[in-house]
A and B are shown apart, each in its own frame.
Chain A
Amino acid sequence: MRMTALLLRDIRLSFRAGGGAMLALAFFASVAALVPLGIGPDLRLLARIAGGVLWIAAALAALLSLDRLFQSDFEDGSLDLIALSPLSLEATAFAKIAAHWLTTGLPLTALSPLLGLLFGLPPQAYPALVLSLLIGTPAISAIGAVGASLTLSIRRGGLILPLIVLPLLSPAVIFGAGAVLAALDGLSNGALGLLAAFSLVTVVLSPFACAGGVRLNLAG
């Protein structure tokens, strides 16, 4: 099975019932709508925290569908078949990470300017917002996938996946939100560059860790 075939299969599956493709978008919007209700309507304040809030909401929304990344295939036995195919587990993991990003991270990035509008984000911050999410959401998918592969066999894993993954996501959140904050003030820091480096490293290395995680769970 080739990587693109696996990628397309995963994308198709995520759009079916129980797939969770639009779920992440809805969750993203809900969290973003909930924050001003909690913090109050002061638009100046909301504009300053918009980058951080949207980044946190994006991380949580991407986490939603992560536990299903390997588990649904594991439960019905297709992961065993995929593992037996000529496609290496590392390539499998990479295809799944890509599919996850295309169905959660990318739509989130597309929706973010609209939510930025709700927060009164000034125009100079929008490029930074979209760019930071575009660059950073692959890292969320990559690191999340590592957590998903490790928690594969835990039934009712529940909150353990976010518990392991969120601390590891902190550089992405710090740099992503930091880029938006700097753009607000018209400054430029190296945040986007550091974020890009972080994303590159995690996307490249994560398939190896994922393959290890899948292997140990299939062997048992």
Chain B
Amino acid sequence: MLRYANPKRFMDLSGKALPWLGAGAAILLGIGLYMGFTAPPDYQQGDTVKIMFVHVPAAWVAMMAYGLMALSAAIGLIYRHPLADVAAKAAAPLGAMFTALALITGSLWGKPMWGAWWVWDGRLTSFLILLLIYLGYIALWNAIEDETRAAKATAILALVGAVNLPIIEFSVRWWTTLHQGESILRPGGPSISAVFLWPLFAMALGYTLLFFTLWIVRIRTEILERRARSLMLGLS
């Protein structure tokens, strides 16, 4: 891991990997969307079930992004890995966007399915809290002037907020809710039929590759910005 701590080496490697990640994301999203559109309508939900292909992967990526952000923050805090703080900072707006996407698409799905744009159940509430935690994290980065201090402070905040992740995951088990229960990671295997499962996985993989593509682009941008800033300081 420390081999990639050298920003130049990271820039070289990520520069080579980026086109592949981007292409992979585009292909998988294309496949997923095609499979999603050609899937048969659900016997209960009709064609509305297909919002699942946009909504569920967004939610998965939103939580994964927070996990990666918290992990990067921890690595930065404990090992003082130079790129870890940059990685955490870069992941936050992406995670927030995917969270917002999940909330909006979920709301669009909820209206035809449940008759309500929003309900205050465990899953939706804890996901909204996730969005607020993301926003607080981003705000803290912007509020502290010194980059090193900001990195450490936001790292502590990210770790404290990580407690929310298991709450989201188990919220559908702990509280009565309208939201779909655990349908994939459950004893006895997935309860969704294969004709929906495959597009879902394709979209999930596509979303994940999209996240990694955008994440790497943001990290590279941040590295270049810092280089530019230090050059300017050197000139002045």
Contact = CB atoms under 8 A, between A and B. Distances in A.
Contacts of B140: 150-151, 160, 164
**Closest CB pairs A-B (n = 8):** A167-B132, A216-B152, A164-B136, A150-B153, A167-B129, A163-B136, A220-B149, A167-B133
A170 interface: yes
B17 interface: no
Contacts of B154: 150
A157 B143 contact: yes
Interface string B141-165: 0011010110011101101110010
A170 B156 contact: no
B64 interface: no
Q: Main SS of chain B's interface residues?
A: helix
B136 to A, nearest CB: 4
A216 B80 CA distance: 13
A220 B146 contact: yes
B139 A160 contact: yes
A146 interface: yes
A216 B149 CA distance: 6
Contacts of A217: 149, 153
A157 B142 CA distance: 11
B223 interface: no
B225 to A, nearest CB: 21
A212 interface: yes
A154 interface: yes
B191 interface: no
A28 B138 CA distance: 30
A220 B153 contact: no
Q: Main SS of chain A's interface residues?
A: helix
B125 interface: yes
Interface of B: 125, 129, 132-133, 135-137, 139-140, 143-144, 146, 148-149, 152-154, 156-157, 159-161, 164, 167
Given A151-B143, A164-B157, A168-B160, 10 more contacts: A146-B156, A153-B144, A154-B143, A160-B136, A160-B140, A167-B132, A167-B133, A170-B125, A170-B129, A217-B153
Sorting the interface of chain A by its residue count into under 10, 10 to 19, 20 to 34 or 35 or more gives: 20 to 34
A35 interface: no
A105 interface: no
Interface of A: 146, 150-151, 153-154, 157, 160, 163-164, 166-168, 170-171, 174, 209, 212-213, 216-217, 220
A167 B157 CA distance: 12
A146 B158 CA distance: 12
A213 B144 contact: no
Contact of B132 (A146, A153, A166): A166
A168 B133 contact: yes
Contacts of B137: 164
Chain A CB within 10 A, most for which of B139, B160, B161 = B160
B37 to A, nearest CB: 37
Contact of B160 (A146, A154, A166): A146
Contacts of B146: 153, 220
Contacts of A164: 136-137, 139-140, 157
Contacts of A160: 136, 139-140, 143
B159 to A, nearest CB: 8
Nearest to A150: B153
A127 B154 CA distance: 39
B136 A167 contact: yes
Given A168-B161, A217-B149, A220-B146, A163 B156 contact: no
A157 to B, nearest CB: 7
Nearest to A156: B143
A212 B149 CA distance: 11
27 contacts: A146-B156, A146-B160, A150-B140, A150-B153, A151-B140, A154-B143, A157-B143, A160-B136, A160-B139, A160-B140, A160-B143, A163-B132, A164-B137, A164-B140, A166-B132, A167-B136, A168-B133, A168-B160, A168-B161, A170-B129, A171-B167, A209-B160, A212-B156, A213-B153, A213-B156, A216-B153, A220-B148
